Amino acid sequence: MTRILFIVVGLMTISYSGEIRRLCIQLVDFGENLASGALQCYECLTCTDPFNASQAIKKTCPTAIEQVCYKFKASAGGVDVVTRGCIPKTSSDVFCDSAKKSSSVVDYCGTCSTDLCNSSSAIASSLVILMTTMFVKLVV
């Protein structure tokens, strides 16, 4: 992580347009959040979809083991159940795979790795999207 931050700070010293300079500052802020290791996720056992943040708490995930945020949605008998929270990254694939295989009522199970990223109706691979977007903005 230190290497990435050093490169970004180095880019900021070169004369670039205001947009690229702002992007570099955002990269530094993003890197500092990752380096701290304290991921925040929404946590709730009976959330609704679309999501209402007032129904959930913002939980700081444990830092002993790397964590990801998850969202799980199942439907049975016309009742939707949505849960959100933190889960160890090492068990996230097993969690979603076993949930989907064990029951036909599972509508969605996904994980993401940025602060409060489990609020959306569908979770994408947030880090990949962020890095791709930043690369395209730097090249163009």
Q: What angle do CA 75, 59, 96 make, to 5 degrees?
A: 40
Quick one: 40-125 is in which CATH superfamily? CD59 (2.10.60.10)
Q: For 54-113, what is each residue's pLDDT tens digit?
A: 888 999 999 999 999 999 999 888 888 899 999 999 998 888 888 888 777 899 999 999
- Would you place residue 121 in the very low, low, confident or very high pLDDT band (cuts 50, 70, 90)? low
Among 6-10, 30-34, 46-50, 110-114, whose mean pLDDT is lowest?
6-10
pLDDT tops 70 at residue 13 = no
pTM of the model: 0.59
Residue 114, pLDDT score: 96
3-class DSSP state of 123: coil
At 122 the pLDDT is: 61
What are the Cα distances from residue 32, in Å, to 1, 26, 55, 88, 100?
9, 10, 29, 21, 35
Domain boundaries, the chain: 2-36, 40-125
Question: What pLDDT, in 10s, does the model give residues 42-57?
Answer: 999 988 888 888 888 9
